Structure 1
Amino acid sequence: MEDNAIESTVLWLSAHPEPSSLNGSLRTTGIEYLRTLDRTVLESDLYAMEWDPVVRPHDAGTHASDRFRISADTRTAHLAGTQPDAIVREQEKLRRADALVVQFPLWWYGMPAILKGWFDRVFVSGFAFGTDETTGRRLRFEQGQFTDKRALVITTLGDRPLAIGPRGKSGELNELLFGLLHGTFAYTGMSVLEPFAVPSADRIDDITPIRARLIDRLDDITPIRARLIDRLDELFTAPTIPFRPQFTGDYTPEWELEPHLCPSEHGVRIHTAS
């Protein structure tokens, strides 16, 4: 999509319980800036929505079997149009979106439970992945449902910058987020941007109530906002992570990387083409 396509729609999905935090401040900045570019911004602020993250038989509507078969029953409900309204509304937002921005604090090296639960309930078979019932085509990776969409992670975390670098104790950021970047975004066909991370966030947003009203003037906040704006400027133009396609020869029928590719390497990094 061309960057000057002002009709672009962005779904901003966020999960932080405190709007006045650094994370909440960046959310406000990002959404307001995108709107100055004439983007349409759809919002899902999960804590404000009091989103229920728990998958239950109710998610399958009237199609829940005596033994709740989560994938099969929710797929049937989706195809029959009997999912709960809350799930349908979120799916419709994602259908409309050309880009998905997912913003959250990194807690225990993962997403907050409320956000994980959004994916569990919204990304059901038949909507986000599955098999085409007419052609038998596997709907994942380069054949995924969302090949028309881009995805960007924005995260705040407590680690120091070098702790999430190539030799950092916490692991390199893209490897920490591999399950989301590769296993959710790329799996469903999205083009995945390099994540935007703000390390040492606990040292930045520890602001007393008296100082909070001065947040716009804090020296350590302004450069982060500027960096975020730069990333949003290139939301539709920046290169994406070159995750390997599944169906064009890089993998064996057992979904293992072919032996001639990166023969002396292992781990999640081999699934990105150099």
Structure 2
Amino acid sequence: MKVLWIFAHPEQCSLAGSLMAEGLRTLDALGHENRVSDLYAMGWKAVVDADDFGGPSGSSGPSGSSGPDRDRLFIGAEQERAYEYGALSADIRGEQEKIRWADTLVFQFPLWWFGPPAILKGWFDRVLVQGFGFGLQGPDGRTLRYGEGGLAGKRALIVTSVGARESGFGPRGIHGQLDEVLFPLLHGTFWYTGMAALPPFVVYGADRLTRDGHARGADALRERLRTLGTTAPLPFHHENGGAYDEDLVLQPEFAPGRSGLGVHR
């Protein structure tokens, strides 16, 4: 297996850093190849701007044609143009090459304000560009997303740590059920681009973790990585699998009488 580990924590001498080190040792011991994108260590630029696309939005493609209204930056169009012409900035192209190489992506981050740190959000914004991660069409003209798309065939695992107790993220916990808190990533990023989203790996009570608690967390992570290739992904419905109508609303025979995020599984 080829695993790309995307690490989004500013401190290597932390619970997150120690878990990544343990995770990489486990992958090595299992005979898996791995690469690491340590976003803070790389000084990853988190914001999208015209420099991502080979300069100002008025830059020409190889044909020399700058196109209409090029004095205005249309992000999606510029992403697709720069991707097609190989004009994306070198750091973006480097990350896309790693994604092409990998069959499994591990995203490790602390849960801050119910989401990943800004630097990881910026990685998604800048790397999963239109034409590469999304915005593709099949031979029949269908839009390829939610189970299909540029990253179809890959698997994605979240490894995260939270300061709260596990009960607070339970079905009736005050923080919300964790798989629903992470729904924007699991469904809206991974599944949208075609990646099969695996059940997240979570270490709770990270701020109060004892030595024994750390050992239990490391053991649990090792076990999850041993089954990385066989763990069943979250069973989200495919957009083009018949579950949704032409308005992208779930058909009434699926999860009848229910609403909310859980109906999409």
Give the whole-Å Cα distance in 2 for the aligned partners of 1:192 and 1:202.
27
Q: Aligned ranges for residues 203-214 of structure 1 at < 5 Å?
A: 203-204=208-209
Distance 1:85 1:34, change over 3 A: same
Which residue of 1 is the match for residue 61 of structure 2? none
Distance 1:22 1:13 in 2: 16
Call closer, same or farther: CA 1:107–1:10 in 2, change over 3 Å.
same
Instruction: Encode CA deviations 1:79-130: one digit per residue, 9 max, x unaligned.
Output: 1100000000000000100100000000000110000000000000110011
Q: Indicate whether 1:15 and 2:8 are aligned.
A: yes
Q: How does 1:103-114 map to 2 (within 5 A)?
A: 103-114=108-119
Match of 1:5 in 2: none
Matched, 1:244 2:245: no
Question: How high is the TM-score relative to the length of structure 1?
Answer: 0.89
Report what 2:35 is aligned to: 42
Structure 2 residue matching 1:143: 3-state secondary structure: coil
Structure 2 residues not aligned, in runs of 5+? 58-69
2:157 maps to amino acid = L
Alpha-carbon distance in structure 2 between the residues aligned to 1:90 and 1:63: 22
Q: Assess if the C-alpha contact under 8 Å between 2:147 and 2:196 holds in 1.
A: no
- Match of 1:52, SS state, is coil
Shift in Å, 1:154: 0.3
* Aligned positions, number: 253
Partner of 2:206 in structure 1?
201
The list of structure 1 runs, each at least 4 consecutive aligned residues, that deviate by more than 4 angstroms after superposition, is: none
Q: Confirm whether residue 97 of structure 1 aligns to residue 97 of structure 2.
A: no
Unaligned runs of 5+ in 1: 1-7, 206-217
Q: CA deviation at 1:131?
A: 2.5
Q: Distance in 2 between matches of 1:126 and 1:223?
A: 42
Partner of 1:172: 177
Q: Tell me what 2:80 maps to.
A: 75
2-side partners of 1:93 and 1:41: how far apart? 10
Residues 152 and 170 from structure 1, CA distance in 2 versus in 1: closer, same or farther, beyond 3 angstroms? same
- The root-mean-square deviation of aligned C-alpha atoms, in Å, is 1.4
Q: Is the Cα–Cα contact under 8 Å of residues 62 and 77 in structure 1 kept in the other structure?
A: no
Give the TM-score, by structure 2 length.
Answer: 0.92
Note the C-alpha offset of 1:187: 0.7
Q: CA deviation at 1:263?
A: 2.7
Q: Answer whether contact 2:243 2:250 (CA < 8 A) is retained.
A: yes
Deviation at residue 178 of structure 1 after TM alignment: 0.1
> Residues of 1 paired with 2:78 and 2:84: CA distance?
10
- Aligned residue number for residue 60 of structure 2: none
Distance in 1 (CA, whole Å) between partners of 2:55 and 2:24 is 37
C-alpha distance in 1 between matches for 2:93 and 2:142? 24
Alignment partner of 1:148 is 2:141: no
**2:81 is the counterpart of 1:88:** no
Match of residue 3 from structure 1: none
**C-alpha deviations, 1:159-214, integer Å up to 9, x for none?**
11101111111011100000000000011111111000011101127xxxxxxxxx
Q: Of 186, 189, 192, which aligns to 1:181?
A: 186
Shift of 1:144: 1.6
